[in-house]
Amino acid sequence: MPLTSIAAGLAVLSIFRRSSKKALTMRKAEVEEIVMGQIDPKTGEKNYVNPFEERIDGEKDLPPGTQREPSGKKFHPYTGPVYKQVPVVEGLKFPLDPNLYYPPLEPPPPGAKWGDGRSPDGNWYMNIEDEQVQYWQGVGRRKTACAIVRIVKGNGQFIVNGKDAIQYFNNFPIWWLKACEPLAALSQKNKFDIIAKSFGGGVSGQAGAIRLALARAMQEYNFNWRPLMKKAKFLTRDWRMVEPKKPGQPKARKKTPYHKR
């Protein structure tokens, strides 16, 4: 074999080694390690972005030097693992193993919600007449009934289990109004279409479950509606249920009469 061909082969081999080393170093640089979430005590900046830590815009309108009085549950700073400024579950390594997980195998960009069947941009989409339409979703319960509600931009249609709502509720306006009360109270009824699926319990319980699920879906759409709906108790789970019957007795409270003999 001529020396020129050997030299050319060695030169190509050295170039390939250099390029492979460079690609390996670039790949190592691109892969970010998982760190623990923390807040800088001096600046107050976080090394993560949690989109579920939502705030009301009204807090920006407070006079200077005043703070909003805290309400609800106490805030606990996040100290779990963080990958590319996104809080993740412990024990995961990215990119995820495609043999164990469905795509996407990487978390979304910082600031986008993920999970619950959302797309990579943090929103929900469904296919309507071969068109991707964004929707907002909520889940609610009342008595032994459950409901899943989706709202889309529309003209006020209200569908429950494939039927028109007033027909599904046996033409009882009180149940129909109770189910769509959050949208009606904010004068948004004719701006959205409601698609609800309910099961379990009776018609009255399903109306209460749809009411809670609808309020949660509206909160997903516009978080600034939360104070009004919270004040009206649209976001409060109604825990009232029928008291269970006791064994050995005819009803929940009724007792068998006492007989001395």
Query: Where along the chain do its domains lie?
Result: 27-61+72-115, 124-231
pLDDT (0 to 100) of residue 31: 58
User: Which amino acid appears at position 222 of this protein?
Assistant: N
pLDDT (0 to 100) of residue 106: 86
User: Which amino acid appears at position 153 of this protein?
Assistant: K
User: Which amino acid appears at position 7 of this protein?
Assistant: A
Specify the higher pLDDT residue, 208 or 57: 208
CB 247 within 8 A of CB 255: no
For tokens 């469904």, name the residue: 126
Beta-carbon count within 10 A of 224 CB: 13
Helices and strands per DSSP (H, E), number in the chain: 6, 9
Question: Distances in Å between the alpha carbon of 33 and those of 85, 95, 113?
Answer: 11, 11, 21
Is residue 254 scored above 90 in pLDDT?
yes
pLDDT tens digits for 182-239? Answer: 999 999 999 999 999 999 999 999 999 999 999 999 999 999 999 999 999 999 999 9
CB 110 within 8 A of CB 191: no
Half-sphere exposure of 247 (CA within 13 A, CB side): 0
> What is the rounded distance in angstroms from the CA atom of residue 145 to the CA atom of residue 143?
6
For tokens 């800088």, name the residue: 40
Which CATH code is given to the segment(s) 124-231?
3.30.230.10
Specify the higher pLDDT residue, 60 or 194: 194
Burial per residue of 100-139, b for 16 or more beta-carbon CB atoms within 10 angstroms, e otherwise: eeeeeeebbeeebbbeeeeeeeeebeeeeeeeeeebbbbe
Q: 143 in the Ramachandran plot: left (φ > 0), alpha (ψ -120 to 50) or beta?
A: left
pLDDT tens digits for 157-191? Answer: 999 999 999 999 999 999 999 999 999 999 999 99
> What is the rounded distance in angstroms from the CA atom of residue 216 to the CA atom of residue 214?
5
Residue 122 pLDDT class (50, 70, 90 cuts)? confident
Question: Distances in Å between the alpha carbon of 61 and those of 67, 231, 241?
Answer: 11, 20, 42
pTM, two decimals, is 0.79
Please name which of 94, 89, 104, 87 lies closest in space to residue 33, comparing C-alpha atoms.
94
pLDDT (0 to 100) of residue 67: 72
